[in-house]
Chain A
Amino acid sequence: MAAASCGREQGASMAALARLQERLEGLREEYFLTNRAIDEDRKRKYKAAVKIQRWFRACRVQVCLRHLTKMVILIQKWWRGYLRRKHFREIVERAYFIKKLKFYNEMAVRIQKTWRGYYVRKYIHNFYALKKYLKAVSMNNEFVRHELQEYTEMKENEEKMKDLEKKDKEKKYQARKMHYLLSTKQIPGIYNSPLRKSPDPMELLLQKSKPLTHRKQPVKSPFADELYGWPTCKEPPAFVTSLPLLHADRRKPQGPFRDPAEVLRQRYKPLEPTLRARESMYSAPGKAREPTRREEWRNPIHDNEFLPFSSYHKNYEKYEPSLFKSDKYGQEAYGTKYFREVYPKKWIADKDFETLFPSIALFEKFGKTYSSTGQIV
């Protein structure tokens, strides 16, 4: 049975083998074709496998990365939020500070504006003071004009008076010259015409005037003319032949000297002593006065001298002047009356040094009462 089966098997297998051998060429071709197909497929399948694997690995990695990014984002979000909130507080504080500063500046500007306006209007461009000044100037001008007007009028009056006087003098001189034209009892003069009701004023003037005396003609030397022209020349030059003699009475010396007679009188004035001094000590009345003097010395009521006023002894102090300060002629005032020597020649300027107008103290603190911008107090 085994043999049979083996035979059957061998027969089957031989049949199979024959079938197989039939198919062998085809098998070879099939095998080749299938291998080729498998080879060709292999690349495609390989690529597909790579693709799948790649995709899968990518998914895994991506999941990983996504997770990581989510974590990172979370961390960063919280961190940045924290930082910004911190900075925001600083920004808010700064903005608040700036706002305060601006407000203070505004207020300071307002104060300074009103102060400066006030100051300028009151002291520098004081409108009302200027108006008052201009009014004062115009009043002063009126006054000056008035005074000058009076002055000119006075001058004109003086001139007129001078003119009148001159004319008067002229008339009087003419009258004196023509005194002979006065009318006599027999013959009426020129100015006393019978046809007139009253005599001419010239006639009256002639009546009052005294005739001129004869004047000696001055001897005119030939050299006199040209030198008379000079305003201060008094005498013409003389033909000098000998030295000029001194006058018998010497003229007074030029200068502020007193009259010599007066001086001599003063110098040789006799002595006029008093009655008491005139008598000598040893004469009779002199000797008579001696006992009264002695008695006075003996019988005083007080021993102390009579003080001029009640508090005299309090203020009276014995003062001995120091040797350094006493002069021949008394005490020097240095040390008591004044203590400082002045040397005007050493002074640089004639006037004292002038003080400047003191600056306004408040504005020197500008920029120092609060800190400057940007730095927090």
Chain B
Amino acid sequence: MSQRQVLQVFEQYQRARSQFAQAVADFAARPQSIDTLRSAGVVCLLRPLLLDVVPSIRQTAALALGRLADYDVELAEAVVKAGILPQLICSLPEENRYYKKAAAFVLRAIAKHSPQLAQAIVQSGALGMLVICLEDFDPGVKEGASWAFGYIARHNPELSQAVVDAGAVPLLVLCIQEPEIALKRIAASTLSDISKHSPELAQTVVAAGAIAYLAQMIPNPDAKLKRQVLSALSQIAKHSVDLAELVVEAEIFPVVLTCLKDSDEYVKKNGATLIREIAKHTPELSQLIVNSGGVAAVIDCIGSCRGTVRLPGIMTLGYVAAHSENLSMAVIVSKGIPPLCVCLIEEHEDHIKAAAAWALGQIGRHTAEHARHVAVANVLPTLLDIFVDTCSSEDLKVKAKKALKNILQKCTYLPALEPLLHEAPPSIMKYIIGQYSKGPFPESFLLSYPAWKSQCGGGRQGKGHILSPC
């Protein structure tokens, strides 16, 4: 009899503990009750439950701690200060997958707030344990571990290096090949966070063979996965010419162009970012993009989007046109100027307008022919308005002025310069008058003969080349 009574006491205690852990976990899921929990000193009470005998109590306690740390920076710091981390990770290898998942959740909830907390996690030796979690068979555990790695690596290059040194990158590349979509997403986002800081980290990711798998996942129908994959590839490609060439060699063109037509806005944005990072390095890479029809796809993408999503596409056109006059002509021929004009007029954000002005300047600055195309599209009055407008930011004014200067110095199409004469401020006026002073151009005579225009369209371009002052 007494044995049963003794066991009953223990059972009661166990039940009470599990109820407490469960209730705290439930309360922690609601934001309004967290302050009360904090003032009740919940962190110190949950700490011994982490070392409880019963596994489910351990799991629930870890889950509750994770939710608490997720909510607030101060709670996360309190969790770290209470010395939870060593206890969390000390017995991790022998635990079952639910505990591992809960522990990974806690680590990621702490790491996401600030670099100092992430540093505290690294110093407590959690990275080795997370790598063990990454080697686990359960996809949920792997997901939790790679998410934690992603949040740690996000903050600064040193933490990224710590993640790489722990040997996480090959395991992440294996995670990408797993069939579960959520795991692929998280692994791709972690690789993106690791490689964004420096070329050496990107090189490490590439050396693990990530590019081939990432490139294979571009045609995948899942939109969020595509976002992360494109973001990872663009973070790799942005650092140097060799990395960009490696990314291109993975045969992403023309598959990437289908991403520019996706229904998800951020997939389009990340796709345009990837193309931008490739185009900005050398003329050969830009040439490759033009030859594969990428410029047309980017232009259509700009036309169909609104807002910040357009920005990488605009910058792509600017970079492609900046490399050489042939590429600039290719951009013009692909009907690149009208969408840029529309951007200048329609957009409200100053940085997008500045990017559009810069791109137009790059297109029009090469020769008289290019300047003529830009001027004919009625861009110059818009640029002038932006430059003169008082509520434009400094950066926007500087870029508009530079674009105007570059285009005007090569513009020989006088009918387009006329409307500017009336309103231009002196700093712009000197360029306009400079163009007028260079004498009447044969183009202005030829333009008055429509028959000439149609007949010697090609010849006119040639003449313009030779006779216009460059």
Contact = CB atoms under 8 A, between A and B. Distances in A.
Given A152-B261, A222-B22, A237-B59, A141 B296 contact: yes
Report the interface size class on chain B: 35 or more
A232 interface: yes
B333 A226 contact: no
Contacts of A134: 329-330, 333
A223 interface: yes
Contact of B261 (A138, A151, A237): A151
Contacts of A148: 257-258, 260-261, 297, 300
B326 interface: yes
Q: Interface centre among A143, A155, A222, A237, by most B CB within 10 Å?
A: A237
B291 A237 contact: no
Contacts of A239: 56
A232 B60 contact: no
Given A148-B258, A226-B29, A232 B326 contact: no
Interface in A134-153: 134, 137-138, 140-145, 148, 151-152
A195 to B, nearest CB: 44
Interface in A217-242: 222-223, 226-227, 230-233, 237, 239-240
Contacts of B290: 137
Interface residues of A, number: 29
A232 B329 contact: no
A240 B56 contact: yes
A232 B138 CA distance: 9
Given A145-B300, A232-B138, A133 B261 contact: no
Interface string A6-34: 00000000000000000000000000000
Given A144-B293, A155-B263, A223 B56 contact: yes
A230 B183 CA distance: 12
B291 A137 contact: yes
28 contacts: A127-B462, A130-B329, A134-B330, A137-B333, A137-B334, A138-B334, A140-B296, A142-B296, A143-B293, A144-B254, A144-B293, A144-B297, A145-B293, A145-B297, A145-B300, A151-B261, A223-B60, A226-B25, A226-B29, A231-B140, A231-B143, A232-B139, A233-B98, A233-B101, A233-B140, A237-B55, A239-B56, A240-B54
Interface in A39-80: none
A223 B22 CA distance: 7
A143 B291 CA distance: 12
Interface of A: 127, 130-131, 133-134, 137-138, 140-145, 148, 151-152, 155, 159, 222-223, 226-227, 230-233, 237, 239-240
A358 to B, nearest CB: 22
* 8 A-B pairs closest in CB distance: A144-B293, A141-B296, A232-B140, A134-B333, A152-B261, A148-B261, A140-B293, A232-B139
A237 B100 CA distance: 13
Nearest to A227: B98
B310 to A, nearest CB: 17
Q: Interface centre among A130, A143, A155, A227, by most B CB within 10 Å?
A: A227
Contacts of A137: 290-291, 295, 330, 333-334
Nearest to A129: B326
Contact of B291 (A140, A142, A151): A140
Contacts of A237: 55-56, 59, 96, 98
Nearest to B262: A155
A145 B22 contact: no
A133 B327 CA distance: 10
Contacts of A233: 98, 101, 140
A240 B292 CA distance: 60
A151 B258 contact: yes
B458 A131 contact: yes
B202 interface: no
B261 A230 contact: no
Contacts of B334: 137-138, 141
Contacts of A133: 326, 330
B377 to A, nearest CB: 17
Interface in B244-300: 254, 257-258, 260-263, 290-293, 295-297, 300
Contacts of A155: 261-263
Nearest to A131: B458
B414 interface: no
A32 to B, nearest CB: 110
B63 interface: yes
Given A222-B22, A223-B56, A141 B138 contact: no
Nearest to A140: B293
B138 A144 contact: no
Contacts of A138: 333-334
Q: Interface centre among B182, B261, B291, B300, by most A CB within 10 Å?
A: B261
Contacts of B55: 237, 240
B52 interface: no
Nearest to A238: B56
Given A151-B258, A222-B22, A237-B56, A145 B296 contact: yes
